[in-house]
A and B are shown apart, each in its own frame.
Chain A
Amino acid sequence: MPLETPSDGLDLAAMRAASDAVEVAAARARAGVIRDRLEPALAAMPPPLRQALDPLLDRLIEEIGRADARAEAARQAATEARRSRGDWLRIDPLAHIPEDRATPPAPPPGRYEAWADSPDFAGFGWHAAEGKGPGSWRWSGLTAAASVIVPELGPGSVALELDLEVPWGLPFDPDAVTVLANGEPLELLARIDGSRATLAATWDGTGSAGASIGLVILAPVLGNPRSSDARKLGIGFRRVSAARV
């Protein structure tokens, strides 16, 4: 925070000037009340006399107002400790705004990794996870596409890796798989091992905070008449990792 702003407590001159302004305002308010109270008596004075006395009376009323305001300030200072919270809230509620209003939230983690059966796996269009831990997987095929949600990692580019598998032991064809990151097709680099592949991509990300990454995976859905599993299966998911670059 720049030093010249009063909030850092260093700009004593500005705070003193503000304090003076508050005092002047209080004196003006008290003088106004006194003037209103005296007005009927003053109005009864002969106009020439009133005219002659007006500058002096004004000065006098201002002085009394100032003294009255000081007396009131002193009274308030003396009774300050006994003031109720309600009084404080009426006079200066800003000092009572909870501290957490000004506390910046913790930044999102810069890295995320999940397996198919991780408790914080989030996505749509998947069958239930099979297997355990790093060896777990899920098949898609329930919906037209399947998605994996990578929680927000903050603004900027993100390095993504997806471990995927083609069902029924078929060879992995990278051209048959499209991955969209929040609707944007990714340029994928594939490391293929039989039915399985690790697809890597760098996503340019966003300039602003707050959005998770919805990875939508488009791939063929296949049945296998020779299998006892009657399901039509799409691509299988094993792992996702994401790290802010």
Chain B
Amino acid sequence: MRCLVVSPTPTHPQDAGNRGRIHALLAALRGFGHRVELALVEREAVAPEAHEAMRAAWDRLIPIPYDRGREAPSLGDTFALDDWFPPEVEAAIAGLAASETYDLVLVEYVFLSRALELFPASALKVLDTHDVFADRHRRLEALGLPVGFFHTTAEEEARGLSRADLVLAIQDDERRHFEEVTEARVVTLGHMPALAPAGPAPHEGMRIGYIGSGNPLNGHALEGFLGALDGAALARLGASFRVAGGASRYAGPARPGVVPVGGVRDPADFYGTLDLVVNPHEGGTGLKIKTVEALAQGRPVIGTAEAFRGLGARAAFHAAPDAAATAALALRWAREPRFRREVARESAALAGRYAREVRRQLAPFRSREALGRLLDRPRALIVTDIPFWREALGNQARIAALLRAARGEMDVDALFLGEPEPGAEAAAARVLGRRGRLLASPGDPAGRAAGPVPPHARLSAFERGHFDLPHFEAAEAALATGRYAMMIAEYVRLSWLRHARSAPVLRVLDTHDVMSLRTRNFEHFEREHFLQLGLMEELAILDGFEQVLAIQETEHALLRGALPGKSLLLPHTQPDIPCHDAARAPRRIVFVGGDSPMNRDGIRWFLDQVWPALEGAGAALHVAGRVCDALDATPGLVLHGAVDDLPGFLDAADIGINPVFYGGGLKIKTVEYLCRGLPAVLTEEAAYGLHDGREDGRGTAWLVARSRAEFVAHLRALIRDAPLRRRIAEGAFRFGRARFGAAAADPALRALAGLARTFQPRAA
């Protein structure tokens, strides 16, 4: 491919994060055998040797003069999209577009996106965003920081994004943000410098370090860190904290345990002197280049969740809530040899995982054909009777999480079988993104219309009991548009949709539960399940789909064996959040539950049989959700009812419980506890499906109670034993991030999207 790159940032020297990112991307394009021409909009001063280096590195360097003095906001306090794209730059790039033919035009930063409009449709137009610039000035002002560089309005940024065929977000959170504001296709392309792992140079004592420029954001983080750091204790342990770069000025004069180093020639030299790198960054967007640089240098790193955002970190010490908590981790690192080994091992693992992920993200740039396939996203129709946009109950949250993950790989429309309430469309748009839409089938106002069943729908006995003609016809009408490469039905009760005329070749059932197993489990506890389905009939129905989605490991293994090649594990996922602070005294034990028989019976049993034995332990039981309606006032019990802010409720929790003893599928509340690092006591039923033979979380990520006495014993232990609480919290967090983190659904969805592409028309 012949590629033109339009950039306001030079690629040489790579002494800033954005320069390193652009250099790496261009080097990858050249590595794939493409011709790379760099049109450098000279917004930054470039030394002659840097010019020479760029000429040597790329096939052509096209300098475009630029006058920064004319940068003025034309929208009052912020810039219009093209305020940094003056007529001289436009003329120069239009000249290139008129005289040369490019296969791919890559523009760096949204404020140069006007360049994309100057090229013909035959060129593939790619916009590398680097950051979210919408309202950036307001975010900085809110942090009390001076506003620099570019910022604009949400509408202007969206207009810029829409100029591209393909938008590159630097991390997944930003991809998800862009998906909600633009119809352009968005993919994540992260940045990882070449891995150069090396041990630290020999030195005395343990050295912890931070390197950063003197910008206020760095200062804010460093001051928070140093304010909480016990430097004298660090010194007593034989460790010191060293600060290099412009940020040294925030470290103050040297004192026991703290050493400002000042400027360094090459960050790699500084990293080479360190045993541990910290990044206490708070707030901001984009990717934290200093974190990936340190990881690439093979350094063990600890830091805040913000510092590791978008990297797929799993350890609690890569997700501290703030700079002060990072300081506590630094002291712990100096004190505990085992913790030092753990940080080193997990940092190396993270570096390897993230480097592999960036390689995967880069792979489509290998050829025009592969890029074409990336653009040529399959469209799926998901059919459900669950109002997923509310995201209040477990099943709603599961479908919403699936849709958010799916839209990274495909375009998804949702056909809702019911009457959506006012405002549903806007709420659904936040889940589906701008490339998807919400359709609705109101159905028969009198209720389910069981027939007549069209002759082409050869329903099983179970399906006949759930078939609904108006909804079936609505699905057929939607599918008849021929837009869809895939149909996903939610729950086996909608399996009759597989018989729809003009259903795509790829029909998928999202099971949520293997219902027959669930029915059997209900019977074991002398409860009647609302759905009656035998295992053989269920498997026969599932076999009528090309793929089935299992929500947890045990059910996936069953389906994998019974239906070879058809089962994909698509777990419920949670957004990445910081790890719970297990150091505080435990005051709140929590349970969250909807008004289901499993929840009612579980929490009532707990209140009758376990809770009385915990009186005087110093903690109260807080219950949220509609299950509260079924509970009577009890000493030490606080009923919250349905809460609007469930994350806030869980943030305030110290210990979770899940006493359900029958059910099936995956318990979303269990996943929520794990992903926040909330230490919890679970029954075997509450942990059903979490075991896969690779890692057993029992005793490390949660405590399992197999009897009433064990429930009491575990809760008493968690309340009284702070080290146990911390160990379980950290284990839970690691387990949760690995199994249910934001990226956990991606492999299955990539497999589905890949198969759907079989039926896509070939890209040009």
Q: Is the CB of A182 within 8 A of B754?
A: yes
Partner of A144, one of B717, B753, B761: B761
Bitwise, A1-40 to B at CB < 8 A (1) or not (0) is 1101111100100110111011011101100000000000
A224 CB–B CB distance under 8 Å: no
Write the chain B residue with the least CB distance to A124.
B758
A135 CB–B CB distance under 8 Å: no
Q: Collect the chain B residues with CB atoms within 8 Å of residue A209's CB.
A: 553, 569, 692, 694
Write the chain A residue with the least CB distance to B558.
A105
Q: Is the CB of B747 within 8 A of A180?
A: no
Q: Is the CB of B755 within 8 A of A149?
A: yes
Complex CA distance for A100 and B71, rounded to whole angstroms: 67
A145 CB–B CB distance under 8 Å: yes
Write the chain B residue with the least CB distance to A90.
B605
A75 CB–B CB distance under 8 Å: no
Q: Is the CB of A108 within 8 A of B560?
A: yes
Partner of A106, one of B557, B698, B724: B557
Partner of B747, one of A28, A86, A103, A182: A182
Partner of A2, one of B312, B615, B699, B738: B699
Complex CA distance for A57 and B428, rounded to whole angstroms: 64
A110 CB–B CB distance under 8 Å: no
- Beyond A101-B685, A180-B373, whether A122 also contacts B566 by CB under 8 A is yes
Q: Is the CB of B760 within 8 A of A144?
A: yes
B386 CB–A CB distance under 8 Å: no
Q: Collect the chain A residues with CB atoms within 8 Å of residue B360's CB.
A: 184, 204
Q: Is the CB of B712 within 8 A of A144?
A: no
12 A–B contacts, CB within 8 A, in A order: A4-B724, A7-B710, A26-B612, A92-B609, A93-B605, A96-B524, A101-B688, A147-B754, A152-B567, A180-B754, A208-B744, A210-B550
B332 CB–A CB distance under 8 Å: no
CB-contacts of A157-189 with B (<8 A): 178, 180-185, 187
Q: Is the CB of B568 within 8 A of A211?
A: yes
Q: Is the CB of B760 within 8 A of A124?
A: no
Q: Is the CB of B684 within 8 A of A210?
A: no
- Beyond A1-B696, A6-B713, A97-B685, whether A183 also contacts B757 by CB under 8 A is yes
Most B-side CB within 10 Å, residue of A181, A208, A210: A210
Bitwise, A78-119 to B at CB < 8 A (1) or not (0) is 000000001001111111111001111111100000000000
Surface stretch bound by A, among B288-296, B582-590, B639-647, B700-708: B700-708
When A and B form their complex, which 10 residue pairs have the shortest distance between CB atoms, in order from nearest?
A210-B569, A105-B557, A122-B565, A211-B747, A18-B713, A214-B754, A25-B612, A182-B750, A104-B691, A206-B747
Q: Is the CB of A210 within 8 A of B571?
A: yes
Most A-side CB within 10 Å, residue of B521, B560, B754, B762: B754
Write the chain B residue with the least CB distance to A119.
B564
Bitwise, B304-332 to A at CB < 8 A (1) or not (0) is 00000000100000000000000000000
Q: Distance (Å) between the CB of B657 and the closest chain A CB?
A: 12
Complex CA distance for A7 and B615, rounded to whole angstroms: 23
What is the interface of chain B, defined by CB distance below 8 A to chain A?
A: 312, 353, 356, 359-360, 363-364, 366-367, 369-370, 373-374, 409, 505-506, 521, 524-526, 546, 550, 553-554, 556-558, 560-561, 564-571, 605, 609, 612-615, 659, 661-662, 683-685, 687-688, 691-694, 696, 698-700, 703-714, 716-717, 724, 738-739, 743-744, 746-748, 750-755, 757-762
Q: Distance (Å) between the CB of A126 and the closest chain B CB?
A: 10
Q: Collect the chain A residues with CB atoms within 8 Å of residue B711's CB.
A: 94
A65 CB–B CB distance under 8 Å: no
Q: Is the CB of A208 within 8 A of B747?
A: yes
- Interface size of A as a range: 35 or more
Q: Distance (Å) between the CB of B346 and the closest chain A CB?
A: 13
Q: Collect the chain A residues with CB atoms within 8 Å of residue B748's CB.
A: 210-211
Partner of A21, one of B614, B661, B684, B752: B614
- Beyond A184-B364, A185-B364, whether A21 also contacts B708 by CB under 8 A is no
Partner of B705, one of A8, A11, A94, A218: A94
- Beyond A93-B605, A146-B758, A185-B363, whether A218 also contacts B369 by CB under 8 A is yes
Q: Collect the chain B residues with CB atoms within 8 Å of residue A242's CB.
A: none
Q: Is the CB of B554 within 8 A of A105?
A: yes
Partner of B696, one of A96, A104, A125: A104
Complex CA distance for A185 and B361, rounded to whole angstroms: 10
Complex CA distance for A43 and B597, rounded to whole angstroms: 42
Write the chain A residue with the least CB distance to B314.
A207
Most B-side CB within 10 Å, residue of A19, A95, A120, A208: A208
Q: Distance (Å) between the CB of A240 and the closest chain B CB?
A: 11
Partner of B755, one of A25, A124, A155: A124
Q: Is the CB of B703 within 8 A of A5?
A: yes
Q: Is the CB of A107 within 8 A of B693?
A: yes
Q: Distance (Å) between the CB of A239 and the closest chain B CB?
A: 16
Q: Is the CB of A178 within 8 A of B370?
A: yes
Q: Distance (Å) between the CB of A225 and the closest chain B CB?
A: 22
Q: Is the CB of B691 within 8 A of A145?
A: no
Q: Is the CB of B367 within 8 A of A185?
A: yes
A141 CB–B CB distance under 8 Å: no
Q: Distance (Å) between the CB of B310 and the closest chain A CB?
A: 15
Q: Collect the chain A residues with CB atoms within 8 Å of residue B568's CB.
A: 210-212
Q: Collect the chain B residues with CB atoms within 8 Å of residue A199's CB.
A: none
Q: Is the CB of B570 within 8 A of A98?
A: no
Q: Collect the chain B residues with CB atoms within 8 Å of residue A98's CB.
A: 521, 524
Q: Is the CB of B710 within 8 A of A18?
A: yes
Q: Collect the chain B residues with CB atoms within 8 Å of residue A212's CB.
A: 565, 567-568, 751
Q: Is the CB of A147 within 8 A of B525?
A: no
Complex CA distance for A2 and B700, rounded to whole angstroms: 8
Write the chain B residue with the least CB distance to A144.
B762
A143 CB–B CB distance under 8 Å: yes
A151 CB–B CB distance under 8 Å: yes
Write the chain B residue with the least CB distance to A206.
B747
Q: Distance (Å) between the CB of B522 and the closest chain A CB?
A: 12
Q: Collect the chain A residues with CB atoms within 8 Å of residue B703's CB.
A: 5, 7
Complex CA distance for A5 and B702, rounded to whole angstroms: 10
A213 CB–B CB distance under 8 Å: yes
A233 CB–B CB distance under 8 Å: no
A216 CB–B CB distance under 8 Å: yes
Write the chain B residue with the least CB distance to A145.
B758
Q: Collect the chain A residues with CB atoms within 8 Å of residue B374's CB.
A: 183
Q: Distance (Å) between the CB of A162 and the closest chain B CB?
A: 15
Q: Is the CB of A97 within 8 A of B661?
A: yes
Complex CA distance for A131 and B353, rounded to whole angstroms: 43
Q: Collect the chain A residues with CB atoms within 8 Å of residue B744's CB.
A: 208
Q: Distance (Å) between the CB of A139 and the closest chain B CB?
A: 15
- Beyond A180-B370, A216-B757, whether A96 also contacts B525 by CB under 8 A is yes
Q: Collect the chain B residues with CB atoms within 8 Å of residue A102's CB.
A: 684, 687, 691, 698, 704
Write the chain A residue with the least CB distance to B609.
A91
- Beyond A105-B693, A204-B359, A204-B360, whether A6 also contacts B710 by CB under 8 A is yes
Q: Collect the chain A residues with CB atoms within 8 Å of residue B714's CB.
A: 5-6
Q: Collect the chain A residues with CB atoms within 8 Å of residue B724's CB.
A: 4
Complex CA distance for A10 and B471, rounded to whole angstroms: 57
Q: Is the CB of A208 within 8 A of B739?
A: yes
Q: Distance (Å) between the CB of B361 and the closest chain A CB?
A: 9
Q: Collect the chain B residues with CB atoms within 8 Å of residue A206's CB.
A: 746-747
Q: Is the CB of A181 within 8 A of B754?
A: yes
Write the chain B residue with the least CB distance to A147.
B758
Q: Is the CB of B373 within 8 A of A97?
A: no
Q: Is the CB of B684 within 8 A of A97?
A: yes
Complex CA distance for A204 and B353, rounded to whole angstroms: 10
Write the chain B residue with the least CB distance to A95.
B707
Partner of A14, one of B369, B716, B752: B716
Q: Collect the chain B residues with CB atoms within 8 Å of residue A204's CB.
A: 356, 359-360
Q: Collect the chain A residues with CB atoms within 8 Å of residue B373's CB.
A: 180, 183, 216, 218
Most B-side CB within 10 Å, residue of A14, A28, A211, A216: A211
- Beyond A122-B565, A208-B747, whether A21 also contacts B716 by CB under 8 A is yes
Q: Collect the chain A residues with CB atoms within 8 Å of residue B712's CB.
A: 18, 21-22
Q: Collect the chain B residues with CB atoms within 8 Å of residue A180's CB.
A: 370, 373, 754, 757
Complex CA distance for A49 and B679, rounded to whole angstroms: 50
Q: Distance (Å) between the CB of A182 and the closest chain B CB?
A: 4
